[in-house]
Amino acid sequence: MYKSSAADLLAKALNKPAEETIKQIERPKQLQHGDYAFPCFALAKEKRQSPQTIAAELAAELSHEAFSAITAVGGYVNFTLDKKLAGSRVLKDIHQQRAAYGSTAIGKGQTVAIDLSSPNIAKPFSMGHLRSTVIGNSISLLLEKQGYGVVRINHVGDWGTQFGKLICAYEKWGEEEKVRANTIPELLKLYVRFHEEAAQDEQLEQEGRDWFRKLEQGDAYANKLWSWFRDVSMEEFGRVYELMGVHFDSDAGEAFYNDKMERVVEELEQKELLSLSEGAQVVRLDEYDLPPSLIKKKDGATLYATRDLAAAIYRKETYQFSKSLYVVGHEQRLHFQQLKIVLNKMGYDWAEGINHIPFGMVLQDGKKMSTRKGKLVLLDKVLEQAIQLAATNIAEKNPNLPDKEEVARQVGVGAVLFHDLKHERIHDIEFSLEDMLRVEGETGPYVQYTHARACTLLAKGSEFAGSSEVDEETGAAAWPILSLLLQFPDTVGNAAINYDPSRIAKYVIDLAQAFNSYYGKVRILEEDDKLGARVAVVEAVASVLEEGLRLLGIRAPRQM
Task: Please give the pLDDT value at position 431.
Answer: 80
Non-local CB neighbours of 490 within 8 Å, separated by 6+ positions = 3
- Model pTM score: 0.94
Residue 544 covered by a domain: yes
Residue 52 covered by a domain: yes
Please give the Cα distance from 491 to 533 (Å, whole number).
Answer: 25
The one-character DSSP state at 324 is E
Spell out the alpha helix ranges (H) of 118-182.
Answer: 130-145, 161-173, 176-181
Task: Please give the pLDDT value at position 214.
Answer: 94
Question: DSSP characters for 101-134?
Answer: TT---TTTT-EEEEE---PBTTS--BGGGHHHHH
Low-confidence ranges of the chain (pLDDT < 50): none
Please give the Cα distance from 201 to 281 (Å, whole number).
Answer: 30
Tally of domains within the chain? 2
Q: What is the largest CA-CA distance in the chain?
A: 84
Residue 262 covered by a domain: no
3-state helix, strand, coil in the chain (%, to 5): 60, 10, 30
CB 472 within 8 A of CB 466: no
Please give the Cα distance from 502 to 48 (Å, whole number).
Answer: 41
- β-partners of residue 112 are 150, 323
Closest to 509 in 3D by CA, of 558, 474, 552, 479: 552
Residue 24 covered by a domain: yes
Provide the phi-psi class of 156: left if phi over 0, else alpha when psi is between -120 and 50, else beta: beta
CATH number at residue 540: 1.10.730.10
- Using CA atoms of 365, 366, 372, 377 in order, give the dihedral in degrees to the nearest 10: 50
Show which of 81, 105, 134 is a domain's final residue: 81
Task: Please give the pLDDT value at position 128.
Answer: 79
What is the number of other CB atoms lying within 10 angstroms of the CB of residue 296?
20
Angle between helices 479-497 and 502-521 (to 10 degrees): 170
CB 392 within 8 A of CB 439: no
Q: Are strands 111-115 and 76-81 parallel, antiparallel or unpaired?
A: unpaired
Could you tell me the end-to-end alpha-carbon distance of the chain, in angstroms, rounded to an integer?
36
The one-character DSSP state at 100 is G
Which helix (H) or strand (E) covers residue 276, if one does?
A: strand 274-277
Residue 429 covered by a domain: yes
Show which of 22, 55, 81 is a domain's final residue: 81
Domain that holds residue 479: 379-551
Distance from chain centroid for Cα 256: 26
Average pLDDT, the chain: 94
Residue 124 covered by a domain: no
Dihedral sign from CA coordinates of 369, 375, 376, 381: negative
Spell out the alpha helix ranges (H) of 71-123.
Answer: 83-97
Q: Are strands 367-368 and 362-364 parallel, antiparallel or unpaired?
A: antiparallel
Show which of 81, 112, 145 is a domain's final residue: 81
Residue 428 covered by a domain: yes
Tens digits of per-residue pLDDT, 20-46? 999 999 999 888 899 999 999 999 999
Residue 33 covered by a domain: yes
For residues 78-91, one letter each, b for 16 or more C-beta atoms within 10 angstroms of the residue's C-beta and e for the rest, the string is bbbbbbbbbbbbbb
Helix (H, G, I), strand (E, B) or coil at 323: strand
Task: Please give the pLDDT value at position 513.
Answer: 97
Angle between helices 130-145 and 220-244 (to 10 degrees): 60
Amino acid at 233: S
Helix (H, G, I), strand (E, B) or coil at 74: coil
Task: Please give the pLDDT value at position 487.
Answer: 97
